[in-house]
Structure 1
Amino acid sequence: MLAATLTAFGSPLAVRDVPDPRNRGGEVVVEVLATCVPPYADEVFSGERRYPLELPVIPGVGGIGRIVSVGPDATKLREGDLVWCDCTVRARDDALTPDITLQGWSSRGEGGARLARHLHDGSFAELMRVPTENVHPLPESADPVRWSALSVHTIPYGGLLAGGLEAGETLLVSGATGTLGSSAVAVALAMGAGHVVVPGRNRAVLDLLADRFGTRVTPIELTGDEDADRAAMSVRTVDMVLDLLPPQAPSSVARAAAMTVREYGRVVLMGGVGMLGGADLALPYPWIMRNSVTVRGQWMYPRTANAGMIRLVAAGALDLDAERFTTFGLGEVNEAVRHAAAHGGPFDRTVLTPAVR
């Protein structure tokens, strides 16, 4: 098969012939029809984000495809099924605190690194080997390119589940003008949020969100003054804050957003603040304690999120037709990475179609 391989950080991906993957028990081989290219992929491949990838590696964060072969322990999946392959792979020997790897992308700790060595390669290839439990059937009518956006939307969905977002509540999305933040706005409203406060510095994106979602969102243009921004974001009583700020964002922006939450409110941290150094978040202990605020982190999402996200899209609650998709063939993978970096705005997807000729 053909695959795009990263052989050295800072070098272009090389498209070349590699052996076809073979599934063992508990695994499935899938023909990859469509996979989203993250806007920050160039930062991963350059080494700027310092992801613990062991090279050479076929990168990629899951995708949509058709099953080529299944293991003997699969009872419902069949060859030819249209499926979503989730990149979030969990070790099977610890139900409470499983080690996790994002197949073909990143990992957590030594256990995650060991798991990544076993399931090393991702979806920038014509074929991919995936754990059986990471393969989720889709409606046959699903368009693979559009449904590849599941890999984006399910991340903030995991944060909204972690925070226990309830219908009618007001959510503040810190980092709302970014790829994941704008997705969080759409997913929250699809889940029944009553209102979403969307702060950011990009006026054009704030206007786009207001145009798409109308009176259910309140855009707040940030100034960089922490106290003034916190006051502006407190325009409504905020039940929950979801932080999805990127690594480059200063912790003061995350802190200002978090401290808008009401007494007994919830704050969920999913962004990258501090990953590249800089000041810590430093939320005041007395404020957390006296206001009975719950603060928790969430990396990715629970396994149940996959089925929930498919239902949201299949029911039409989350409209993928409102998004823009630009496709590239496998031979154009480096162009796709550059395009993704330049077109990382809200609902703008760059999609690689490895097995489509």
Structure 2
Amino acid sequence: MAAHNELPDKMKALVLRSTSEPPAIETVPTPQPTLGSAVVRVLAASTISYMHDIYNGKRNYPFPMPIIPGTSAVGRVVAIGPDATKLKPGDLVFVDCTIRSRDDPADVFLAAIHEGFTPGSAKLMKDVIRDWTYAEYCRVPLESLTVLDEKRLTGSQTDGGLGLSIEQLGFVARMLVPYGGLRDIELRAGQTVIVAPATGPFGGAAVLVALAMGARVIAMGRNRDSLAYLKQKISSDRVETVAITGDMEADCSELKKYGPTDAYFDIGPPEAHASTHIKSCILALRHGARISLMGGYREDIPIPHVSIMHKNIRLYGKWMYEREDIVDLFKMVESGVLDLRTVEVAGQFPLAQWKEAWDEAADKTMFDQVVVINP
């Protein structure tokens, strides 16, 4: 086991004690490594656009309190448990917020965000893995850490590196979500996939990931200016855009102009459960196509049953991604197939400015922008 004298007795952390009151910076005991875990010095913790709504209770996500909030992050290993055989202090790592039970992978939850949907996942979050990355240090299960090729990813381009910043590496957290769904439906090079809505942070990331997988993308969204921005920034002849007008038949006809479509990836927000785009996209698919449903809908969505049945269309549901997807996605980055150099670090904030960071994340929602907290 690594010597613990590298760990201070106390650390600064953002602590949430009630959703009726804002979190506050507190001095708390520094976590220590245990069997099956390592302690990481958090370098850059990701944010998402609705951070405020998670922790003020507006989204009504279930999680225990008090809690140290957080998301996925990039950090450096400081201390390891006695059963670690690969990790070592000093390793640059990706900290994954998707936690699975070791004896039942169906018990899955999002660390410090959502306790999941089973009694097992709720128990694991409440009793074992409660505090997360909006702190100077974080104790992380070994299997939730991915060692990064620091020389390749952050090294200078003159020495064969990609010259990425730690903050840009954190953008992978956003890309992992759509990659989980696209990989689930076995999207292949040369195929055409509809991504809808494509103008939000996760939808835009889906466009980038699908392109890196070799697919052709039809990006669909309500905001024409955002669609134009996406088309201009990506600048690929494998990207087409279609606006969601609310006219289901007209939108479907527009989608069909781009020929047979192999797949549809949906990642709509909760309020879009009745949107016409869902049916438009499904009706535009070819025989034998696949659908990945990753939207945050809390209501049932309308689907054209007859068309799905007669066309042998397969429906897949996906919450987040698998552990092996993380390794695969970073391989895509390391190889240069997935280029993060165009990612804009739209904001960097110290832990004490967590509110400003969350405000900025809510404002900077273009697909290629990232806001991070540097504890």
TM-score normalised per structure 2: 0.90
Within the candidate set 284, 290, 298, 1:266 is matched to 290
Alignment of 1:199-348 (within 5 A): 199-211=220-232, 212-236=234-258, 237-251=260-274, 252-273=276-297, 275=298, 277=299, 280-325=300-345, 326-348=347-369
Runs of 4+ in 1 over 6 A off after TM superposition: none
CA deviations 1:210-249 (Å, max 9, x no partner) are 1123321111112112222222222222101000111111
Quick check: 1:186 aligned with 2:208? yes
SS across alignment from 1:177: coil
Within the candidate set 86, 109, 112, 1:104 is matched to 112
* Aligned length in residues: 347
Q: Is the 8 A contact 2:279 2:304 kept in 1?
A: no
| 177-186 or 225-234: bigger deviation | 225-234
Alignment of 1:39-54 (within 5 A): 39-54=49-64
Name the residue aligned to 2:6.
none
Name the residue aligned to 2:190.
168
Within the candidate set 120, 124, 127, 1:115 is matched to 124
**Percent identity (aligned):** 37
Inter-partner Cα distance in structure 1 for 2:112 and 2:76: 19
Q: Is the 8 A contact 2:264 2:292 kept in 1?
A: yes
- What letter matches 2:114 in structure 1? S
- What letter matches 1:25 in structure 2? L
Name the residue aligned to 1:148.
170
**Offset of residue 4 of structure 1:** 0.8
Name structure 2 gaps, 5 residues minimum. Answer: 1-10, 155-164
Q: Is the 8 A contact 1:238 1:261 kept in 2?
A: yes
Inter-partner Cα distance in structure 2 for 1:125 and 1:231: 50
| 167-176 or 68-77: bigger deviation | 68-77
Inter-partner Cα distance in structure 1 for 2:212 and 2:266: 18
SS across alignment from 2:70: coil
Inter-partner Cα distance in structure 2 for 1:257 and 1:9: 38
Name the residue aligned to 2:3.
none
Inter-partner Cα distance in structure 2 for 1:203 and 1:217: 15
Q: Is the 8 A contact 2:282 2:304 kept in 1?
A: no
- What letter matches 2:197 in structure 1? G
- What letter matches 1:115 in structure 2? L
Q: Is the 8 A contact 1:209 1:217 kept in 2?
A: no
